Amino acid sequence: MALKSLSGMQRRLSRDARLAEAYGSFMRNYERLGHMTRVPALEIRCEDAWYLPHHAVIQASGDKWKLRVVFDASRTTREGHCLNNFLWSGPPLQSDLSLILSNWRKYRFAFIVDMVRVFRRALVVREDRDLQRGVWATIADAGPVDYRLNAVACGTTCAPYLAIRTFLQFVTDEGVDFPLGAMV
């Protein structure tokens, strides 16, 4: 499934040089930051490995153009299974969104932030990384290379819980030294 998806993605990239450059840059950066690592040749064969297909999501607004690569944990196999079927989403940790939005009306000023790479802040334990594998070829003619995703993949059922839980743990661990940040 992941190889078929990669083949389709490579065809799309061959028709769009801008997308190809941005996608390749994203994947190189993803590896450089340690969010994915190559699977050694001796470890490629693994019965428990789960390969996630990936694709481009482009956000365009006027002249601005931003690419995200999404690893698809909801894509089903021929047998009708997907990785998300086997993951626990975790208990809800965030307040009701409508309550959060209505509380904004109490204040004269509101601050919002975009947490950069928030899901990549939570690393997956080494024993579970084979459940988040992917394949990538730097150029279409090269053979695919197997990778392990070392951080929580955006798009997995558990990602929102793990992101919020990580923030709550920061408050526990660092709140004494940063009381204003912990309060927020």
| pLDDT digits 0-9 by tens, 14-50 | 999 999 999 999 999 999 999 999 999 999 999 999 9
| Per-residue model confidence (pLDDT) at position 25 | 94
**Is the pLDDT reported for residue 140 higher than 70?**
no
**Is the pLDDT reported for residue 90 higher than 80?**
yes
Q: pLDDT class for 139, splitting at 50, 70, 90?
A: confident
Query: Which residue in 166, 153, 128 sits closest to 69, CA to CA?
Result: 153
pTM score: 0.83
Which residue type is seen at 17? A
What is the phi/psi pair of residue 66, to 5°?
-130, 135
**Is the pLDDT reported for residue 152 higher than 80?**
yes
**Is the pLDDT reported for residue 51 higher than 80?**
yes
| DSSP H stretches of helix in the chain | 2-15, 17-32, 97-103, 159-174, 179-183
Which residue type is seen at 11? R
Query: Which residue in 175, 81, 18 sits closest to 184, CA to CA?
Result: 175
Q: pLDDT class for 171, splitting at 50, 70, 90?
A: very high
